[in-house]
Amino acid sequence: MQSRAVSSLYLVVIALVLLVGCQSAYYSAMEKVGVHKRDIMLDRVENAQGAQEDAQQQFQSALEQLSQLINYDGGDLTTQYELVNDQYQASKASAEEVASRIDAIESVADALFAEWNEEIQQYSSNSLKQKSQQKLRKTERNYQSLIKSMYRAKDGMAPVLSALKDNSLYLKHNLNAQAIGALQGEYKTIKRDVESLVSEMSKAIAQSQQFINLLKAE
């Protein structure tokens, strides 16, 4: 068992080394054509901002569909189930896209700040070195505010997704009026969680714009 655990750990380490190597090769190749890590970071933050806006709209759409469901008056519930499930699946995909965009930002940020720190040590002018250090610290502070805001919004998606999944599963196996009654009791909680999520995502989107403006101004 211990041998298997060591082997598994070894494979994980190798995979991470290969991933880091691929990322380094990618950044090097991009720099050769004039696209630097700072440019890549700006592009990825803009992409994440777009993903957050899409997710925000999607979760609101899912809430609207649930609202229509609990006010449904007669007829075949199969179609309603399919609509609710489609909204859950779309919301899940949106959440995964946001998470992927955050990972991409963190990857290039690590590379950018590591390179920046290394290059600071190469200055012969103490004055320029100090200015670069101050600029780095400012950028890092703004980056930390950005990434924390993004994670707060990302973490807020989990309870909403769980509730949407539960509702979809329950409706799937209970296509009747009693099911609608049961879901009505869940709606208020989901509505509150979605409203909280939308608020956090608005903050993250605004934080993204501030960081984008900062990078463009420098």
Mean pLDDT over 196-211 rounds to 96
The yes-or-no verdict on residue 43 having pLDDT over 50 is yes
Measured distance CA(9)–CA(189) in Å, rounded = 41
Measured distance CA(56)–CA(47) in Å, rounded = 14
Predicted TM-score of the model (pTM): 0.84
The predicted pLDDT at position 184 comes to 83
| Residue-averaged pLDDT of the chain | 87
Q: What is the pLDDT of residues 136-150, one digit of tens each?
A: 999 999 999 999 999
Q: Which CATH number is correct for 36-217, 1.10.3470, 1.10.1060, 1.20.1740, 1.20.120? A: 1.20.120
The yes-or-no verdict on residue 176 having pLDDT over 60 is yes
